Structure 1
């Protein structure tokens, strides 16, 4: 298993995210660049959020939502912090914990490193290897690291790391942050660490924006020991989560909502299998497998040119070169329904033919 540890390189645009692929030029595109589940939020959730608007004159009260999240994971409320999306949690971690030797495992969501750099930290990177399928090697993390951040399943690779490998990185004196923003999109949530209380320094981050279509509302949470939760909360502004977002958080962790999320995860897994089978039919196109998230990472020659041709044909794909550990030969594709995937595969055939001449 090959990994390497590098210092950050300025060439990566850590603030580039998939939404930019869709709105760069105002073109009407089928969105394969953003990982929010299509057709969301569902009607019942929209109505629930709308009903909360009658309470906007009062300051937000997060007690009920916090208790609901705690109950969902079998935790005391003291181990739950509600945040304005997982992105806010990364900023809090960078500012509040006083890490001196932070490490980010890449390729992964770039916002953790951007937050650390913005807070003045020097960041080391552990770069996983494509030839190993981007598998995690816990031994590659420097022993002196006091803050380690890793995604599971990881964006953009869609790799689901074994929980045992993650736990091998935990130790007293180190904060281990596991970003589980896409775990609720994995049927059964295998390898999840949310709810664990026996792991020293563990912080698990969860998002409600992907499965439920709430990216514009900003809602997520952190699960950690009470002292860490208190430290992060002290770095938050007053009333950091809005009343509508709190209403959404409470609604999305009910038993009925969890059943709905599990059903959606199983449909996504079936649609991902169909997408991977279609991609396998193309010479020179290789997807990272096994994939566990609602997206797949694909490698091909002339990926940048193919992405531009796909835009001309009506499809937005996420460029891969902004992720440390990847380069211009990579694209990330969101999993969509079978009809959309079939249209995309036909467009990809045209794009590859045009680029290859």
Structure 2
């Protein structure tokens, strides 16, 4: 805004991978705001999450997937960690801050031999996705495999949730609630793991790690399978629509998920500036001079603005 002008309401923010049409909030009770979150409400949410994610093991509710990322380095003594990159940079940052020796590698096979390995599946920002069999094979070659499934909601077939049971100690899955359900401000996410690891995570997180409104909204949303199916279909359609607009503008698709798309532009800074001149914000990356990432517009007006900007109108 300082450079291109406008007020916050004038801008279309496509820099995130958050569903622009959020889940409709349930009716809250006064106790959701006035009382400390109850153990019963937390248990109910976690049971609903286990069912939604198809996980026989534990689902530990936390204040967003980021909270889980911050706790992962403390589950084991620091050693050699490898992160499949390029990806969400907070994984490597959290591990380094806790004293881990971190290497960022470019292929799944390069993760073998690590005391702790991190894979984002599907990956942010290029959308690389790995089949469960490939990740299960990797699981046998590392000490602890951490799979961040924050963008997996529209593609549940790639999730490792069904392989996590009460005795699992070498596999940890991270799930974001706010991205698919469009309620990032609630700060809710889950760690799917075995019982012992769940206990260690809860001890680290401390009491009342999830607020009352998030407990109620999360349980309602995760139990609403009809909304999930309708939203998945819409997001997939909209992702295809975004690809067609970008291709018409001369950009080449790199990949992405149903919540964001990444394109080869030939010049990322120039492409971002072009959109920003129309008060549309996007995401570019320090490791690529040509990639740009776009989220999805949420309404007809947003689509029209993006189409006009990409067409140079």
Measure the CA separation in 2 of the matches of 1:197 and 1:306. 42
Cα shift at 1:300:
1.6
Closer, same or farther: CA 53–313 of 1 in aligned 2, 3 Å: farther
Cα distance, 1:333 vs. partner? Answer: 0.5
Q: 1:30 corresponds to which residue?
A: 12
2:51 matched residue in structure 1: 71
Shift of 1:215: 1.1
Q: Is the 8 A contact 2:150 2:176 kept in 1?
A: yes
State the partner residue of 1:98: 77
Aligned residue runs from structure 1 range 168-207, under 5 A? 168-171=137-140, 174-186=143-155, 189-197=156-164, 201-207=170-176
Work out the CA distance in 2 between the residues paired with 1:28 and 1:237: 40
Report the more deviating stretch, 24-33 or 236-245: 24-33
Alpha-carbon distance in 1 for matches of 2:53, 2:280: 38
Task: Label 1:31 to 1:23 Cα distance change in 2 as closer, same or farther (>3 A).
Answer: farther
Q: Tell me the distance in 1 between the aligned counterparts of 2:6 and 2:278.
A: 15
Task: Report the secondary structure of 1:160's partner residue.
Answer: coil
TM-score, with length taken from structure 2 = 0.88
CA offset at residue 155 of structure 1?
Answer: 1.3
From 143, 154, 159, the equivalent of 2:123 is 154
Greater shift in the superposed pair: 274-283 or 149-158 = 274-283
1:90 Cα deviation after fit: 0.6
Q: Which residue of 1 aligns with 2:309?
A: 347
Give the Cα separation in 2 of the matches to 1:23 and 1:231.
48
* 1:1-357 matched pairs, under 5 angstroms: 26=8, 28-42=10-24, 46-48=25-27, 50-51=28-29, 53-54=31-32, 56-61=34-39, 62-76=42-56, 79-127=58-106, 137-141=107-111, 143-171=112-140, 174-186=143-155, 189-197=156-164, 201-254=170-223, 257-283=224-250, 285-289=251-255, 291-321=256-286, 326-336=287-297, 339=300, 340-350=302-312
CA distance in 2, matches of 1:109, 1:173: 21
Which has the higher mean CA deviation after the structures are superposed, 233-242 or 85-94? 233-242
Find runs of 4+ consecutive structure 1 residues off by over 6 angstroms: 22-25
Residue deviations 1:230-257, cap 9 Å, x none?
2222211222111111112221221xx1
Q: Deviations over 1:161-217 (max 9, x none)?
A: 22222222102761111111111133xx22111132377611111111012222111
Shift of residue 273, structure 1, vs aligned partner: 1.1
Whether the 8 Å contact between 1:52 and 1:247 is mirrored in structure 2 is no
- Note closer, same or farther for the CA distance 1:148–1:24 as it changes in structure 2 (3 Å cut): farther
Deviation, structure 1 residue 305: 2.1
> Taking structure 1 as the reference length, what is the TM-score of the superposition?
0.78
Equivalent residues of 1:33, 1:318 under 8 A apart: yes
Do the aligned partners of 1:152 and 1:159 also contact (CA within 8 Å) in 2?
yes
CA distance in 1, matches of 2:201, 2:292: 34
